[in-house]
Amino acid sequence: MAPLSGKVAIVTVVVKYNRESAAADEVVQSIGANRALAVKPMSALWPALISIQFLKSFDTVTEEDYDAQFKLNVKGAFSWCRAVEKATRTLCKALGLNGITVNTIAPGATATDLLLVGKSEEVLSGIAALSPFNRLGTHNDIASLVAFLASEQSGWVSGQAIRVNGGTMV
């Protein structure tokens, strides 16, 4: 019998788009509309990716401007990540009694169109150099973890936010 036979992994994919939704909608359709969701960052579903930038010269940015930008761009992302990790632990406790494990996968820089399109080779090399492996992640890096989490070998792994980032510290 195959090692994953009879196992189910519930994977929810959030596809982020910035301008037009057509490409994101195509990705969602290829994954399956019941397993994926296209989200524009200004949506309330993705508050951590809302960001503000001031169209001012550096010498005219006030301390209040800086504080507002920091609060939204840094503290907002931090708060969103904490909420996701807390929900993971809460669901772990609630569903563990039924033998169900719950984990969150937090991928790092992964070689997808979202990362690659519009960036120079120099920028991509710089991002890859942030990892001790000196490369970007691949979809197989993420899929391998999903397969492990759906296997018998991961039965004692639950309530975790697992960073799949090649050792890159963000």
Tell me the range of 58-72, 101-115, 116-130 where mean pLDDT is highest. Answer: 116-130
DSSP 4: T
DSSP 71: I
What's the burial of 137, exposed, middle or buried (CB within 10 Å: 0-12/13-18/19+)? Answer: buried
How does the average pLDDT of the chain come out, rounded?
Answer: 77
Band (115; pLDDT cuts 50, 70, 90): confident
55-96 tens-digit pLDDT: 567 778 788 877 877 777 677 767 777 888 888 898 889 888
pLDDT at 46: 44
In the chain, what percentage of residues exceed pLDDT 70? 68
94-105 tens-digit pLDDT: 888 888 888 988
Q: Which domains does the chain have, with CATH numbers?
A: 1-44 (no CATH), 51-164 (3.40.50.720)
Band (166; pLDDT cuts 50, 70, 90): very high
pLDDT at 133: 95
pLDDT at 150: 83
Distance of CA 155 to the CA centre of its chain: 23
pLDDT at 157: 95
Tell me if residue 87 falls in helix, strand or coil: helix
More confident: 65 or 30: 65
CA distances from 79 to 10, 49, 88, 161 (A): 24, 11, 14, 15
For the cut 80, the answer to whether the pLDDT of residue 152 exceeds it is yes
Mean of pLDDT values over 10-18: 60
Q: Under a CB-based contact definition with an 8 Å cutoff, are residues 154 and 101 in contact?
A: yes
Which residues are 103's β-sheet partners?
160
User: What's the token pair of residue 15?
Assistant: 């596809």
- Range 124-127, long-range pairs (CB < 8 A, 24+ positions): none
- Beta-strand ranges (E) seen in 34-116 are 36-39, 103-107
The closest of 147, 141, 77 to 108, measured between CA atoms, is: 141
Band (138; pLDDT cuts 50, 70, 90): very high
User: What's the token pair of residue 39?
Assistant: 């989200």
